[in-house]
Structure 1
Amino acid sequence: MTRPSIRRRRGTLGAAAGTALALLLAGLTGCSSGNGPSTEAGGKVTLTFTWWGNEDRAQRTNAAVDLFEKRHPGVTVRTSFAGYEAYVQKLATQAAGGDLPDVAQLDYRQISQYAGSGTLLDLGPYIKNHTLRTAGFDEGLTRTGVYEDRQYALPMGRGSTGIVYDSAVFEKAGVATPRPGWTWDDWAEAGKKVSALGMKGPNGHAYTGLSDIGVNEDAFETWLRSKGRNLYASQHQLGFTADDLTEFWTFTDKLRRQGVVSQAKDTAQIGGAVEDTPMGRGLAATDFNWDAPFLGYPPLVGENVHLAPVPTTDGSVGQYFKPTMLIGVGAGSQHPKEAAELIDFLLNDPDAGTILGVTRSTPPNQKIAAAIGKSLTGPEKEVYDYGRKIAAYGTEAPPMAPPRGDVVLQVAFTRTYQRVAYEMQSPRGAAEDFVAEAKRELR
């Protein structure tokens, strides 16, 4: 069944890079910036392509798709996007009905779930016949799309986590610029100094030094790895204990009680978009996030926002490079060859790489990454330079793809900590409940 096109209008570019992108698109031969949905007349093959992200990512992705259509006149691509949480829910519904889009952006944590349920197409034959080219990718990064020895997805970018911070507020509070090797205690102390300023957010709520990372499983994983442990030991076993999670949630809950991290009512509004974070809403001086969404902060917070490495435990690094997102083909696609060609174009075409920039962090094709790095400016350059800084500082190889139950457990992790934040349960009780639920889910 052909889906209706719901491609967003492209007339107004995002504030972060609108002018530069408009000039770029005007200079690319055969690429139209467009002022509405591209025509579908005359197309012999129609593909559906969906992803999550903000307007800037959508603008650039649609522009790259326009160029693909011009170079493949027999193919029309219908695109759609949404915020992360809405996207994940919709994709799960589509997957359950056997109706996954032809091409879909995927989170690292979804690979085991969808590949294991037969929802994704094995890309191996298209890599073997060179429809999909992976020679320019880091092998370790490429392996993150493998499930049971088959390649079901390819990375769209290489990224890592970081602490987004407002340097002007840090300076006002007398906090030094965060450097590689700073510790979780340093992070907490910075939050205390900022919170002591007594500032207020736009809604009158307290402006805190830190966002509450207790709701964030990614933050917990990074903290856990800095202590020499992992989130998962296998596809059916956790890599940590209730004691480990109790320690983490006791740490974050103590900061909440001290007024150092965002209030529960503000933490509860955190979603998949930068606009939903306490920092994005003008209520905190820092946020824990991946580097790709960093581009969404400057339009909201201002030019003083920057990226710092994730804190360490006595110098032990917990962060790692992972695919910021992956891309795969629905197992039920009627046009798998054309779907593979679209993926290859987005990942390996130099012009597509220039259009997309670092909207999904550093491109996986190392030649394209090096090429675009020479012309980046502003927040995009910061994301690119941050990746190089982290690589020089040292990171470990990415862990195995999480088990199929992890998508459910991510939601459970946030839900369980909310009970702690609202003082309905102790960190110990919540940790024991979560570990028990996780063990049931992973059986």
Structure 2
Amino acid sequence: MKRSTTALATVLALTGISAHSAELRMSWWGGDSRHVATQAALEVCGAKTGHSIKPEFTGWGGHLEKVTTQLAGGTEADIMQLNWPWLPIFSPDGTNLVDLNTLSDTIDLSNWNEAAIAQATLGGKLNGLAASQTGMIYWFNQDIYEQAGLALPTSIDDLVTAAAVFEDKLGEGYFPFYLVGEDVVKWLQNVVAQSTGKGLIDDSTMTVAYTQDELVAGIEMYQMLVDAKVTPSWPDAAAAGNVQLYENPSWADGHYAGTYVWDSTYFKYAEPLTVGTLVPSGLLSVEGGSNDGVYRKASMVFSLSKNSDNLEAAAQVLNCLLNEPEGITAMGTARGLPASKAAQAQLAADGSIVDIQTEANDMVLQASGPEVSAYAEHPEVRSLMTDTLELFAYGELSAQEAAEEIILGTNEVLEKYK
């Protein structure tokens, strides 16, 4: 009997199936395509590892509140898809989630670059693995720029020059760029980071790193773009319907010929175009800038519960989902271009990733700039900055008042985490 059991264990080890089947849970948010892909991946990885995994999925709305409640009560899933900026909220010192470094014999951590590992490390503990790494870059409608007789911009000054040419050669209503709403928040951090070499938040002091004058300069640069007719103003965009840019007829027909959005959203903005071709253009330089000011982050991470009764089994499943052929095929690009090198290589080889996605992501990964703090994505910080910049755009606040409000309000949020 002992000999038979040993033989069985050997066979299971060779096939990757655990001799002890575990019952696990995995939670995530997303749309239908992500739900379908993830459930398929759980089936194949469950079969490969010998574990059963119960899927728990929702839409985006309410997911933060759900996970917060579960973590507070110790009832969270064994494997969790978490938004990257939630990590310091849930695990400020890295002790409230599993340190994945302790499972490196099971999970091949070498598939993630240093930046991805660093962004998910708190208190020296790796609390998550990036599903994908994404960043904000400029995208332009190449055909519209060619109609205007212009090369694609490489600097902010080029945008200003393009605005005058667009109005002269293409007519009223054509803009070389579109910057409205929450994207202004990320853009502001890009240009100020270029000018100062600093990110918005200094994690060592848990305060805003920018001075009021530095923020004012960035805010005034945005107003300069509006005044030069580089972009429609925030109020004008709202008056025209306040719809998402990719749903806007002026985007589809080329009247808005550029934007600043995540590299991972290529298809969302390219597919609606009825005129022209969308191409990535990296990051535009600011005069006197010392770096690219890239706003780069993990789009989402996978974390393991410290309350899991089957941690090794959860690690086996997670490695299958992210690093092994069966899981990679099933997961596909449901969460964007994978951060795992093994997944990227496999999906590129089988044609699941188009060249322009890789080109745009390479621009993000190769760009320079200060590290983005997860607290810059804190829901309260993001909301504060968006609301304050909107008030500025509507003339309710001066640039000085807006900068002061951002600094004071953000520091108040950060005070809770000191």
TM-score by length of 2: 0.77
**Residues 1:139 and 1:189: Cα distance change in structure 2 (over 3 Å):** same
Structure 1 residue 252 corresponds to structure 2 residue 219: no
CA distance in 2, matches of 1:161, 1:404: 14
Structure 1 residue corresponding to 2:298, chosen from 323, 343, 346: 323
Structure 1 residue 308 corresponds to structure 2 residue 275: no
- Per the TM alignment, residue 73 of structure 1 is displaced from its structure 2 partner at its CA by 5.4
**Residues 1:242 and 1:258: Cα distance change in structure 2 (over 3 Å):** same
CA RMSD in angstroms, aligned pairs only: 3.5
Asked whether the equivalents of residues 26 and 77 of structure 2 are also in contact (C-alpha less than 8 Å), the reply is yes
Asked whether the equivalents of residues 201 and 373 of structure 2 are also in contact (C-alpha less than 8 Å), the reply is no
Equivalent position amino acid for 1:116 in 2: P
CA distance in 2, matches of 1:400, 1:198: 39
Asked whether the equivalents of residues 323 and 343 of structure 2 are also in contact (C-alpha less than 8 Å), the reply is yes
Number of residue equivalences: 381
Structure 1 residue 184 corresponds to structure 2 residue 161: no
Structure 1 residue corresponding to 2:202, chosen from 223, 233, 237: 233
CA distance in 1, matches of 2:325, 2:164: 46
Structure 1 residue 114 corresponds to structure 2 residue 90: yes
- Per the TM alignment, residue 422 of structure 1 is displaced from its structure 2 partner at its CA by 2.1
The answer to which structure has the higher helix fraction is 2
Which deviations, in whole Å up to 9, do the C-alpha atoms of 1:388-443 show, x marking residues without a partner?
A: 3555xx43376264349833211111111111122222222111111111222222
Asked whether the equivalents of residues 200 and 372 of structure 2 are also in contact (C-alpha less than 8 Å), the reply is no
Instruction: Name 1:221's counterpart in structure 2.
Output: 189
Asked whether the equivalents of residues 80 and 305 of structure 2 are also in contact (C-alpha less than 8 Å), the reply is yes
Instruction: Name 2:347's counterpart in structure 1.
Output: 372
CA distance in 1, matches of 2:138, 2:376: 28
- Describe how 1:156-235 pairs up with structure 2 within 5 A: 156-178=131-153, 182-191=154-163, 193-194=165-166, 197-198=170-171, 208-212=175-179, 215-216=182-183, 217-227=185-195, 228-235=197-204
Asked whether the equivalents of residues 354 and 372 of structure 1 are also in contact (C-alpha less than 8 Å), the reply is yes
- Per the TM alignment, residue 361 of structure 1 is displaced from its structure 2 partner at its CA by 4.3
Structure 1 residue 413 corresponds to structure 2 residue 385: yes
Structure 2 residue corresponding to 1:433, chosen from 405, 408, 416: 405
CA distance in 2, matches of 1:210, 1:400: 24
- Per the TM alignment, residue 260 of structure 1 is displaced from its structure 2 partner at its CA by 3.4
Structure 1 residue 396 corresponds to structure 2 residue 371: no
Instruction: Name 1:387's counterpart in structure 2.
Output: 361
- Describe how 1:9-20 pairs up with structure 2 within 5 A: none
Which deviations, in whole Å up to 9, do the C-alpha atoms of 1:151-185 show, x marking residues without a partner?
A: 1111212333211222233233333234xxx1122
- Per the TM alignment, residue 239 of structure 1 is displaced from its structure 2 partner at its CA by 1.5
CA distance in 1, matches of 2:317, 2:207: 37
TM-score by length of 1: 0.73
Which deviations, in whole Å up to 9, do the C-alpha atoms of 1:292-332 show, x marking residues without a partner?
A: 22232233235712222021124742116543322212444
**Residues 1:77 and 1:222: Cα distance change in structure 2 (over 3 Å):** farther
CA distance in 2, matches of 1:91, 1:282: 38
Give ranges in structure 1 of 5+ residues lacking alignment: 1-42, 200-205, 270-274
SS in 1 for 2:29: strand
Equivalent position amino acid for 2:200 in 1: L
Equivalent position amino acid for 1:153 in 2: G
SS in 2 for 1:414: helix
- Which of 220-229 and 93-102 deviates more? 93-102
Structure 1 residue 142 corresponds to structure 2 residue 117: yes
CA distance in 1, matches of 2:164, 2:247: 19
**Residues 1:384 and 1:247: Cα distance change in structure 2 (over 3 Å):** same
Equivalent position amino acid for 1:386 in 2: A
**Residues 1:416 and 1:113: Cα distance change in structure 2 (over 3 Å):** same
Which deviations, in whole Å up to 9, do the C-alpha atoms of 1:177-227 show, x marking residues without a partner?
A: 34xxx112223444554466456xxxxxx6643222563333222222211
